Copies of this chain bind each other. A is one copy, B any other.
């Protein structure tokens, strides 16, 4: 076959997949909460029962990864274990306990002409996800999409192909067993990169596309998709310590925001400190003692407590999401200077102010244009679970549709329902 014919065949096959997803999405939209929860619990049970099969498939991917010289952190993300499979099953059980976003009435009223109008949450339809070699995302995204009444088309990393194939088969069997459509969970992994490219261009066939992974993956999807995308993840997070911030609170929050789980997106990456803040030495000492590597500007270098060492900070430090035990530190003359720094370098995820000055707290909240703005608490609270959303789909750093932590509702759209008895427009 010529290359062109191969391409046409792949396009036809992917269209077949999205067509089946559309049909399955209609059945999912019609399934009530009890039925969907039954499906989630069936998947949880099947994952535990098929643990050996999953681990065997995962062992193949891990062996191939080691052979290809995959880095250790990448191998760690790729690896499934008994406890990790248990976590996936537990997350599905938890999802089954959450309220159904579908059918929620957003607003409604009877209009002057007697028409009854209401705007109701309904499933998106076909959700697609493109992600890197983290097989837990396969189960995670499928569970969230099913609970919100959608069908899902997945494209996982090639490095996790065997694991994802095993998971997909188990998920589809479990759905089928409870009478839900197996085609509500499908994959285009068999078509490699071509499958991802076709999904990105499938506007109309795919209702929303969620990329999950590193910066490069997300930017590729954002720049190449005609399907609407929800951008998630990148967090170059700042904390500003104002002149009036209390010492104990500042130390506690910085330690929590930097060291509790450094590899996640809501961890602090740059500390901005007012020149009159007396708490700086205590904060830097505590961070250094906790093993944090400091990258500081000249003014901070000049006031480092005895025995503490630090690297000089460059623009690259202001731009970097370390996701590790590193922190950039800069001294500013005013809050305006801190805000200006944030405007230049922030990814719009989360910024916090530590202060006892009411006017400054209010101004910071008003002028900082990020998904989450926090006063006197850890940046680690920017999280769907912590903020009471139940499950978390991701943290959106874009402004359209969803911003900040996304729950199940963000995987739905709305429908306007208007009921009358013959009204016409005059």
Q: Which residues of A contact B (CB under 8 A)?
A: 26, 29-30, 109, 111, 115, 117, 119, 122, 124-125, 203, 207-208, 222-223, 226, 228-230, 246, 248-249, 252-253, 255-257, 260, 361, 365-367, 369-378, 380-383, 386-388, 398-401, 403-405, 413-425
A260 to B, closest residue via Cβ: B425
Closest-CB distance, A205 to chain B (whole angstroms): 13
Closest-CB distance, A18 to chain B (whole angstroms): 14
A-B pairs with beta carbons under 8 Å apart, 9 shown: A26-B367, A119-B404, A208-B399, A370-B415, A373-B415, A374-B418, A380-B424, A381-B423, A400-B413
Cβ contact within 8 Å between B252 and A416: no
A22 to B, closest residue via Cβ: B343
What separation, in Å, do the CA atoms of A303 and B117 have in the docked complex?
36
Closest-CB distance, A258 to chain B (whole angstroms): 11
A423 to B, closest residue via Cβ: B377
Closest-CB distance, A406 to chain B (whole angstroms): 11
**Do A371 and B415 form a contact, CB below 8 Å, given A226-B223, A387-B117, A425-B260?**
yes
What separation, in Å, do the CA atoms of A229 and B398 have in the docked complex?
12
B residues near A367, Cβ cutoff 8 Å: 26, 30
B residues near A257, Cβ cutoff 8 Å: 424
The 8 closest A-B pairs by CB, nearest first: A377-B420, A256-B424, A399-B413, A249-B422, A401-B401, A380-B425, A228-B400, A372-B416
Cβ contact within 8 Å between A381 and B228: no
Cβ contact within 8 Å between B388 and A418: no
B residues near A420, Cβ cutoff 8 Å: 374-377, 381
Chain A interface, >50% SS class: mixed
What separation, in Å, do the CA atoms of A70 and B420 have in the docked complex?
42
Cβ contact within 8 Å between A378 and B117: no
Cβ contact within 8 Å between B403 and A400: no
A415 to B, closest residue via Cβ: B373
What separation, in Å, do the CA atoms of A102 and B403 have in the docked complex?
15
User: Which among A399, A401, A414 has the highest number of chain B CB atoms within 10 Å?
Assistant: A399
User: Which among A29, A208, A398, A405 has the highest number of chain B CB atoms within 10 Å?
Assistant: A398
What separation, in Å, do the CA atoms of A244 and B179 have in the docked complex?
33
What separation, in Å, do the CA atoms of A418 and B378 have in the docked complex?
10
B residues near A229, Cβ cutoff 8 Å: 228
What separation, in Å, do the CA atoms of A367 and B203 have in the docked complex?
21
User: Which among A248, A365, A370, A405 has the highest number of chain B CB atoms within 10 Å?
Assistant: A365
Cβ contact within 8 Å between B373 and A418: yes
What separation, in Å, do the CA atoms of A125 and B208 have in the docked complex?
23
B residues near A372, Cβ cutoff 8 Å: 415-418
B residues near A419, Cβ cutoff 8 Å: 361, 374-377
Cβ contact within 8 Å between B256 and A373: no
**Do A416 and B222 form a contact, CB below 8 Å, given A228-B400, A378-B424?**
no
What separation, in Å, do the CA atoms of A279 and B398 have in the docked complex?
50
**Do A423 and B378 form a contact, CB below 8 Å, given A365-B417, A404-B416, A418-B373?**
yes
Cβ contact within 8 Å between B256 and A416: no
